[in-house]
Amino acid sequence: MLRRNNYGLIPSSEITSESLYQERRAFMKLGASAALMGSVPLMAALDFEKSKRGLEPTPFDQITTYNNFYEYGTDKESPAKLSKNLKIRPWTLTIGGEVQKSLTLDIDTLIKKIPLEERIYRFRCVEGWAMVVPWVGFTLASLLKQAGLTSKSKYVEFETLFDPVQFPQQSKSFGNIPFPYREGLRIDEAMHPLTILAVGLYGKELLPQNGAPIRLVVPWKYGFKSIKSIVNITLKEHQTRSTWNQIAPQEYGFYANVNPSVDHPRWSQSRERVLGKFFKQETLAFNGYGNEVAHLYKNMDLKKYY
């Protein structure tokens, strides 16, 4: 069986395994939010091309056990081990700043209000590893439009929950990270149809280590831009704060677009290691989404604005 999207036909067998869709049935029993997620239409990510790149969705157990989430620690295994007690209900998301009307929405109300869809995206870490994730979520644009943009809505800032009890590293000021974690986008990046807020993956509700209950996903940028466990979204007139850019601007640019020709001081970006694969592969500009997003950076020096 094939499913159609705007970029052609993709065998559904290459998108999500039957066994994982059976798991989705069990997930639907968990409640209203889960039931809504069970009705998500199957939508392949734009330009997802297994035949050309040898990619397939990364197994669920790898996606959920190999994570960067410094609120829990520096190694990849700590988030899955230490996040089990994160309280993701009740949870509210506030949208404010340079908007026509500020909003504070309960996560379940939000999920009911905006139709969900599945997006299968490449995910690329600046450390040189990559995965392919079948997210469930909705476009960020659909939420920002509810608050209403103004002539001063030029940047968007996101903020992670600050709770040192649940996020133990927040109380230790690890590595001089100024918690809460913050990230930012230019408004045209935020409003782009590829930019989503994810509330699930593989048809299941997001686990804490993956940024439950709601996180940003910007597939053409390095993973540190896709901030987890968001509580505040603030529209601003001027460029917003970005935690890693604030700590080490010489290493982490504000834009953080995947660029094989611009290396991080510690990691080459020319090649990447896909989890579960033995051989490395060449990195694609904009993580393979150049046809959709390169125009956003026309006439910009991408080595200067990295």
d(CA 95, CA 103): 5
- 17 falls within a domain: yes
* 38 or 265, which is more confident: 265
Mean pLDDT of the chain: 86
Mean pLDDT confidence for 215-236? 98
The predicted structure's pLDDT at residue 18: 37
> Does a structural domain hold residue 89?
yes
Residue 6 lies in a domain: yes
Q: Give me the CATH number covering residue 96.
A: 3.90.420.10
CA distance 246 to 165: 25
Within-domain flag for 111: yes
Judged against a pLDDT cut of 70, whether residue 31 lies above it is answered with no
Domain-embedded: residue 277: yes
Domain around 246: 2-297
What residues contact 84, with CB distance under 8 A and at least 6 apart? 208
Would 132 be classed as within a structural domain?
A: yes
On whether residue 303 sits in a domain, the answer given is no
Distance, in Å, from the CA atom of 80 to the CA atom of 62, rounded to the nearest integer, reads: 11
Q: Kindly state the average pLDDT of the residues 118-145.
A: 97
% of the chain surpassing 70 pLDDT: 81
Residue that wins the pLDDT comparison between 10 and 69: 69
| Average of per-residue pLDDT across 88-117 | 97
What distance in Å separates the CA atoms of residue 12 and residue 241, rounded to the nearest whole number? 40
| 304 within domain boundaries | no
- Report pLDDT for 174: 55
Tell me how many domains the chain contains: 1
Residues in the chain: 306
